[in-house]
Amino acid sequence: MICFKTAHYLVFRILCERAVKVGSFCIGVRMHKLHLLSLIALFSFPSFANGQETGPTIYLPNQEIHVGDLPALTAQTHDATAVLQASVETILHDKDLCCGKDSALGDAVAAADPRSLKDVAVKLQGRHLLSDGRPIKVIAEFVPGTSINSGQVIQSLRDKHAMLLQWDSHFYVLHGSVFDEITDYNHALSYSIRRLLLWDLRYSDERRELAFERETDDLSKVQGMLVLTVSGP
C-alpha cells in the first residue's frame, strides 16, 4: 500500500514531467501544492486559528449565594434613620462598630441624611474611634444604581460582606443573589444577576423577605448601593 505522502509526491512528479513544454506549469503546480498543504494545516488545527486558543464556554445558570450568620434585627420604628441604623448594624454585625451605645459609627449614622445613600457614605468614610479609644478605618464605597456591577456584588457576597441597597427611597440589606455564571475559553469569569435577595428591616414578618428582579423591576428606581469595609484597630 502506498502512503498518502508517497502518492502525493508521485502525482506531483507525473504532472511536472508532462509539463516540460510549459515551463510555468510546474511552478504553478508547486505553488498549488503549497497552497493546498497550507489549507490542510489550517483546518487540521482549528484551535490555533487567528492566533487564539478556543474551547468550550461553561454556563452555570441559577447559582445562589448568601451571607450567613447575620443577626436578625428589626428597626425600632419605620423611620428612615432607624431603618438605616438597623441595616448598618446588620451588615457589620458588631455592636462596638454600630450601632450600640458608644459605638464607633453610631453618631455618624445618626447624622447622615437618610434620603441620600451618598451622604451616608460620606459620613461613614474615614477614621473613627472605638469606645476604648482605638482607631478604625472605614471604606464606604457608594455605587450609583446605574453603575452597579454584577462582579462586584457577587465578589462581595463571596467575601461574606452584605451590602446596603437604596431602592425606591427605602433601605434594604442585600444579603444574597441568584445569578448565572459564565466561564469562557480563557477561564475568565463573568456573571449575570437574575435576582438580588433583600431584607426590609422595617418588618419582622413575611414582608421582611423580598427581591429585586432584574427582568421586571425598574433599575432607575435604585438610588445606589453601599459597600462597607472596616479595618483596624
CATH number of 58-231: 3.90.70
Between residues 200 and 22, the one the model is more confident about? 200
pTM for this model (two decimals): 0.75
Place of cell 444579603: 175
Q: Are strands 135-144 and 126-129 parallel, antiparallel or unpaired?
A: antiparallel
Q: Encode pLDDT of 55-97 as tens digits.
A: 668 899 999 999 999 999 999 999 999 999 999 999 999 999 9
pLDDT bracket for residue 189 (50, 70, 90): confident
Q: Which of 50-59, 133-142, 144-153, 217-226 has the lowest mean pLDDT?
A: 50-59
Nearest to 142 by CA among 122, 162, 156, 127: 122
Is residue 12 packed enough to be buried (19+ CB in 10 Å), middle (13-18) or exposed (0-12)?
middle
What is the model's pLDDT at position 55?
60
Q: Compute the mean pLDDT over every residue in the chain, rounded to the nearest whole number.
A: 82
